[in-house]
């Protein structure tokens, strides 16, 4: 460990002669802050105004970042304010000062900084936009006077509920740090129980905290299924095909994890983590051995993970019991700011911009019983899980789709995307028509799947279906079109040409569609209807 106190004393003695090596001091101080050791000593050095007042503008910005990492928010603001006054030409310092004040919900101070920045850099005002907040009209609504007190009481209730739900190890939690220059982040332990004041700092973005899931007796009150993007999707720019795949798989992931969880009588709260994926939070009615919670979540992972090309699934905690003096795995608490990416987390689907609107979701959270879930997990097999109770009516109405969704991951992703009303890409539409279009009830099924599409047109759908020729798209072709890296379904080799409809031979005619149009009049009628629709969107001629 670097002796920072002695280094500071040496720095102060040589400051007057202009021989201070501030770059070396900042480098050593950075290493010490990131290590999380002797935090009070580090804070004492950071607060030394004789030091930071002599820094150039870029060094002062580094100093402010170190202060924020050490939890000295006010010091960080003081340093940035000093840079704004001494070096008004430093645009980055203005942005950092304003952005931090916005994160802290210090609106008036942020507006003042924006006003000062405008004097030197008029163009910055367009980048410093703040949402307007309408003040209550107390003359029209006398009860508006009581609104702040009512709102504060509700917030106190939500803070209590948050602390009850997200309850890990009681005497210890963790604070996140980040070094944006080095693109590193991590956590240091905080040796006391999580308090309301800590939670408020977390929600306002002042600091970011995580909890250790395992209690001292290796039991847990909650567990997490973590879905992170695979490394291949974090490098370079994405192609359009990659974006389509990620969009489609994201919808599938969010629906499938929730659906499979409910098969085991489990409810989960879904959160966008603010980094590169999603957290599925499971809350239990009583502290239970971590091994039991892991057994249930691993079963869900085993059902969903083989269908995914973009996401890795991981169960937290990773261990069944604590070993030695270790604290076990931790997970970042929701609704905070990721210190490295700067992104905030939120529950899915997002309801509003205010963090307290997200907090209201906690009132609807249902705790689950591992005692009820474990027997279902132990008895479940692929044959037994055929019809989900939640989808019984859908399964009875569209058994072909239910069977394909269960057995073909590629088509299952398309079904989820289409039924949620998300637009399909040309390749996705080609796969949908090239498979479902060969089922006996193709028209009924395609209308059902596409009815929520933003550009759904029943006549155009019928025309496209009437033009379908050839044979069912094969599995390899489908995986190529959709950019899937998962393994195709395996069929008996004697079945020869492999395609998804082999899962349900009773619902389709295996013979290729003839190139000859058997009902020419019907095709012409469909074409006329389609042309009429196109004409409606053409601009009307100007006869003036």
Burial 3-39 (b: 16+ CB within 10 A, else e): ebeebbeebeeeeeeeebebeebbebbbebbbebebb
Q: Is residue 133 part of a domain?
A: no
Question: Among the three residues 109, 127, 145, which one is the final residue of a domain in this structure?
Answer: 127
Rounded to 5°, angle at Cα 205 from 201 and 209: 65
**pTM to 2 decimals?**
0.59
Residue 504 has pLDDT above 60, yes or no: yes
Q: Is residue 43 part of a domain?
A: yes
pLDDT at 447: 84
Specify which residues 380 forms β-bridges with: none
Confidence of residue 14 (pLDDT cuts 50, 70, 90): very low
Residue 154: is its pLDDT beyond 60? yes
Same domain, 168 and 120: no
Banded model confidence at residue 511, pLDDT cuts 50, 70, 90: low
In whole angstroms, give the CA distance from residue 297 to residue 282: 9
* 3-state secondary structure string across 345-376: CEECCCCCCCHHHHHHHHHHCCCECHHHHHHH
Q: What is the DSSP letter of 20?
A: -
Higher pLDDT, 389 or 379: 379
Give the angle subtended at the CA of 26 by the CAs of 25 and 31, to the nearest 5°.
100
Residue-wise pLDDT tens digits, 67-88: 887 778 888 888 998 998 888 8
- 204 and 346: one domain? yes
| Low-confidence winner among 18-22, 150-154, 427-431, 522-526 (lowest mean pLDDT) | 522-526
Indicate whether 341 pLDDT > 90. Answer: no
pLDDT of res. 204 = 85
- Give residue 282's pLDDT: 95
Whether 407 shows a pLDDT value over 70: the answer reads yes
**Is 260 in the same domain as 353?**
yes
Tokens representing 98?
């304003």
542 within a domain of the structure (yes/no)? no
Residue 30 confidence (pLDDT): 79
Q: Residue range 166-189: average pLDDT?
A: 86
Q: Are residues 525 and 484 part of one domain?
A: yes
Range of the domain at 257: 153-375
Percent of the chain's residues with pLDDT above 90 = 11
Q: Is 512 exposed, middle or buried (0-12, 13-18, 19+ CB in 10 A)?
A: exposed
**Do residue 360 and residue 413 come from a single domain?**
no
The enclosing domain of 100 has a CATH number of 1.25.40.10
Residues 348 and 371 in one domain: yes
Average of per-residue pLDDT values in the chain:
78
Do 230 and 333 have their domain in common? yes
User: Rg of the chain's alpha carbons, rounded to an integer?
Assistant: 29
* Beta bridge partner(s), residue 136: none
Q: In this predicted model, which residue has the larger pLDDT, 238 or 382?
A: 238
Total structural domains in the chain?
3
Residue 382 belongs to a domain: no
Given 375, 399, 424, the domain boundary residue is: 375
161 and 295 belong to one structural domain: yes
Residue 226: pLDDT band by 50, 70, 90 thresholds? very high
- pLDDT of residue 528 exceeding 70: no
Phi, psi for 129 (deg, rounded to 5): -95, 135
The pLDDT tens digits for 258-298 are 988 988 889 999 999 876 789 999 999 999 999 999 989 98
**137 domain residue, yes or no:** no
Give pLDDT, residue 434.
Answer: 86
pLDDT of 495 over the 90 cut: no
Strand partners, 87: none
Does residue 10 surpass a pLDDT of 80?
no
Q: Is position 138 within any domain?
A: no
Least confident of 46-50, 121-125, 357-361, 395-399: 121-125
Residues whose CB falls within 8 Å of the CB of residue 291, separated by 6 or more in sequence, listed in order: 320, 321
On whether both 353 and 403 belong to a single domain, the answer is no
Q: How confident is the model at residue 383 (pLDDT cuts 50, 70, 90)?
A: very low
What pLDDT, on a 0 to 100 scale, did the predictor assign at position 521? 54
pLDDT above 90: residue 165: yes
Whether 173 and 280 share a structural domain: yes
> Has residue 173 been placed in a domain?
yes
Q: Are residues 122 and 191 in the same domain?
A: no
**In this structure, are 367 and 395 located in the same domain?**
no
User: Does position 433 have pLDDT exceeding 80, yes or no?
Assistant: yes
Within a domain: 220: yes
Q: What percent of the chain has pLDDT over 70?
A: 78
- Which of 375, 409, 444 is at the close of a domain? 375
């Amino acid at each position: 460990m670097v002796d920072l106190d002695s280094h500071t004393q040496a720095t102060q003695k040589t400051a007057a002669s202009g021989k201070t090596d501030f770059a070396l001091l900042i480098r050593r101080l950075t290493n010490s802050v990131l290590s999380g050791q002797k935090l009070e000593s580090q804070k004492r050095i950071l607060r030394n105004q004789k030091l930071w007042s002599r820094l150039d503008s870029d060094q002062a910005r580094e100093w402010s970042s170190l202060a924020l990492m050490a939890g000295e928010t006010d010091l960080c603001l003081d340093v940035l304010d000093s840079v704004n006054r001494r070096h008004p030409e430093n645009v980055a310092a203005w942005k950092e000062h304003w952005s931090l004040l916005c994160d802290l919900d210090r609106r008036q101070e942020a507006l003042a900084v924006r006003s000062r920045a405008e004097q030197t850099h008029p163009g910055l005002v367009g980048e410093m936009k703040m949402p307007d907040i309408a003040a209550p009209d107390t003359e029209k609504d006398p009860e508006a006077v009581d609104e702040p007190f009512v709102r504060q009481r509700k917030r106190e209730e939500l803070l209590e509920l948050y602390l009850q739900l997200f309850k890990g190890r009681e005497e210890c939690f963790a604070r996140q740090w980040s070094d944006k220059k080095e693109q590193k982040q991590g956590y240091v332990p905080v040796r006391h129980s999580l308090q309301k004041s800590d939670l408020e700092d977390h929600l306002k973005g002042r600091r970011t905290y995580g909890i250790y899931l395992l209690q001292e007796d290796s039991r847990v009150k909650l567990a997490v299924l973590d879905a992170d993007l695979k490394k291949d999707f974090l490098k370079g720019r994405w192609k359009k095909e990659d974006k389509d795949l990620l969009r489609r798989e994201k919808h599938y992931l969010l629906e499938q994890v929730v659906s499979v969880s409910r098969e085991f009588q489990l409810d989960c709260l879904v959160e966008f983590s603010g980094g590169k994926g999603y957290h599925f939070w499971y809350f239990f009615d009583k502290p239970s051995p971590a091994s039991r919670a892991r057994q249930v979540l691993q079963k869900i992972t085993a059902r969903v993970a083989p269908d995914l090309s973009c996401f890795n699934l991981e169960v937290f905690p990773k261990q069944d019991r604590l070993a030695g003096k270790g604290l076990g795995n931790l997970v970042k608490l929701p609704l905070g700011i990721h210190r490295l990416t700067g992104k905030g987390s939120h529950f899915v689907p997002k309801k509003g911009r205010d963090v307290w609107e997200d907090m209201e979701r906690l009132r609807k959270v249902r705790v689950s019983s591992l005692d009820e879930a474990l027997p279902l997990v132990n008895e479940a097999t692929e044959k037994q899980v055929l019809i989900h109770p939640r989808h019984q009516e859908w399964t009875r109405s569209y058994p072909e789709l239910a069977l394909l969704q269960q057995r073909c991951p590629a088509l299952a992703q398309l079904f989820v995307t289409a039924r949620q009303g998300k637009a399909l890409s040309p390749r996705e539409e080609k796969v949908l028509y090239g498979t479902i279009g060969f089922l006996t009830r193709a028209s009924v099924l395609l209308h059902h799947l596409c009815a929520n599409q933003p550009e759904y047109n029943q006549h155009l759908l019928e025309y496209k279906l009437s033009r379908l020729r050839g044979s069912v798209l094969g599995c390899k072709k489908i995986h190529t079109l959709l950019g899937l890296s998962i393994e195709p379904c395996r069929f008996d080799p004697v079945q020869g040409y492999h395609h998804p409809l082999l899962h349900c031979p009773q619902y389709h005619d295996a013979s290729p569609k003839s190139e000859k149009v058997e009902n020419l009049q019907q095709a012409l009628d469909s074409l006329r209807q389609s042309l009429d629709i196109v004409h409606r969107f053409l601009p009307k001629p100007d006869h003036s």
